[in-house]
Amino acid sequence: MKKIGITCYPTVGGSGVIATELGMLLAEQGNEIHFITSSLPFRLNSVSPMIYYHEVEINHYPVFQYPPYDLALATKMAEVIDREKLDILHVHYAMPHAICAILARDIAEHDVKIVTTLHGTDITVLGFDPTFKKMIKHGIEQSDAVTAVSQSLAKQTVDMLGVTKDISVIYNFVNEEDYEKKEDPTLKQQYGIKPDEKVIIHISNFRKVKRVQDVVQTFKKINNEINSKLLLIGDGPEYSSICQLVKNLGLSNDVFFLGKQKNISELLSISDLKLLLSEKESFGLVLLEAMACEVPCIGTNVGGIPEVIQHGKTGYLVELGDTDEAAHYAIRLLSDHELLQQISENALIDAEEQFHSQKIVKQYIDIYNNVLGIS
């Protein structure tokens, strides 16, 4: 049994999902898990005597212009390391979490090993603000072990930061109990979708990098040829401009804005195709969620997406911004029942074989054993 602290952004986002699901699976295997986060992780839905939650509280002293969250986190980490005698502190994101963990390790008396998982946004931050470069590099180099969620992200990290630290690639996974095809013959009808209409789905946080406008433009081209509806799940900065685009293109009756949703697998289960046309994506966890629910995906040939979608086998890859190509593959897939069936089956098999949660959790355990010197 190991005592493992986990820090992540607890709100919606793939990194928070992975960190929380990993914690719950490690607890099921008999490890004691201590979440150290600013609020209760939204995916933390299992009651277990092996799972603890330590909230980071930020005091608003009038002397500080900005509340020092990072220092409050480091202090809480050090307190938990010493009181609970943590073996491992697994942090998701180098900035600021690995930096806080390093500070906590310096403050704490108990010896703890730091494992950092990179999810991509650290590297994206550098595009906006290169002054953080040295700090992110420090966070990576001072960690006892570092993992990245795709080969692409590991390479990009080395290229952009010049780190010499070994970065192990451990892919993302889904909780197979949540993500499986769920038959509900009435759900499509409840949304007012006719049985013969095809359903295309997109799920994201509507940030600019997600290029939701390309999803809508692709859908317009599909919709010209095939009776179909588009489900847009999520919310974020681009939401209003996407609403306007849908209106301008005369698609208001065919595009449903569902906002943030919890029961994603139910919605995936009434979908025939998933579109993720991002300009940056270190992995694209939503692709794997779709594949586990037997939904084939069309994604852009960027970042880690080609490591998730096998072109022509489990879905299709298109060049960034090429909505003609995306529509072409979508129409081909949606108008050929046998092909759709085959690609859906392949997607499920790949999700189970390449990205199975037990296989991925084992890879994290191997990393923990390695830093602890356990063979």
* Shortest distance in whole angstroms from residue 217 CB to ligand GMT: 20
Nearer to ligand GMT, 13 or 306 (CB): 13
Q: Is 323 in the site for ligand GMT (CB under 6 A)?
A: no
Is residue 121 part of the contact set for ligand GMT (CB under 6 A)?
yes
Other CB atoms closer than 10 Å to residue 124's CB: what's the count?
14
What are the contacts of 186-195 at 24+ separation with CB within 8 A? 187/266, 187/269, 187/270, 188/270, 191/229, 191/231, 191/256, 191/270, 193/229, 193/270, 194/227
Q: In angstroms, how far is the first alpha carbon of the chain from the final one?
A: 15
- Residue 238 and residue 202 in contact, taking contact as beta carbons nearer than 8 Å: no
Helix, strand, coil abundance in the chain, percent, nearest 5: 45, 15, 35
Cβ-in-10-Å burial (0-12, 13-18, 19+) of 301 comes to: middle
State how far the Cα of 129 lies from the Cα of 106, in Å rounded to an integer. 27
Q: Does residue 14 bind ligand GMT (CB under 6 A)?
A: yes
What CA–CA distance (Å, rounded) separates 160 from 123? 8
Which of 71, 107, 209, 251 binds ligand GMT (CB under 6 A)? It is 209
Contact between 119 and ligand GMT (CB under 6 A)? yes
- Nearer residue to ligand GMT within complex by CB, 318 or 327: 318
CB of 303 to ligand GMT, least distance (A): 6
Task: Give yes or no for residue 182 binding ligand GMT (CB under 6 A).
Answer: no
Number of residues that bind ligand GMT (CB under 6 A): 18
CB 193 within 8 A of CB 174: no
Q: Which of 4, 6, 18, 104 binds ligand GMT (CB under 6 A)?
A: 18
Identity of the amino acid at 112: V
Q: How far is the CB of 123 from ligand GMT (least distance, A)?
A: 8
Residue type, 301: N
Of 20-28, 59-67, 119-127, 225-233, which segment contacts ligand GMT by CB under 6 A?
119-127
d(CA 130, CA 286): 29
Give the per-residue contact string, 53-72, with ligand GMT (x = CB under 6 A; - = no): --------------------
- Identify which of residues 282 and 344 has a Cβ nearer to ligand GMT in the complex: 282
Q: 258-297 mask for ligand GMT (x: CB under 6 A)?
A: ----------------------xxxxxx------------
Judged by beta carbon, residue 5 or residue 303, the one nearer ligand GMT is 303
Question: Do the beta carbons of residue 52 and residue 34 sit within 8 Å?
Answer: yes
For residues 22-51, which are near ligand GMT according to CB under 6 A? none
CA atoms within 13 Å, Cβ hemisphere of 28: 13
* Least gap, CB of 8 to ligand GMT (angstroms): 8
Nearer Cβ to ligand GMT, position 110 or 306? 306
User: According to the binding rule CB under 6 A, does residue 136 interact with ligand GMT?
Assistant: no
Cβ distance to ligand GMT smaller for residue 276 or 343: 276
Instruction: Please pick, from the candidates 13, 70, 107, 188, the single residue that binds ligand GMT as defined by CB under 6 A.
Output: 13
DSSP string of 340-357? HHHHHHHHHHHHHHHS-H
305, 276 Cβ separation under 8 angstroms: yes
Q: Which is nearer to ligand GMT, 81 or 276 (CB)?
A: 276
Region near ligand GMT per CB under 6 A, out of 9-17, 32-40, 180-188, 317-325: 9-17
Q: Does the footprint of ligand GMT cover residue 175 (CB under 6 A)?
A: no
Q: Are 214 and 277 in contact (CB under 8 A)?
A: yes
Three-class secondary structure of residue 23 per DSSP: helix
Per CB under 6 A, residues contacting ligand GMT are 13-15, 18, 119-121, 149, 172, 205, 207, 209, 280-285
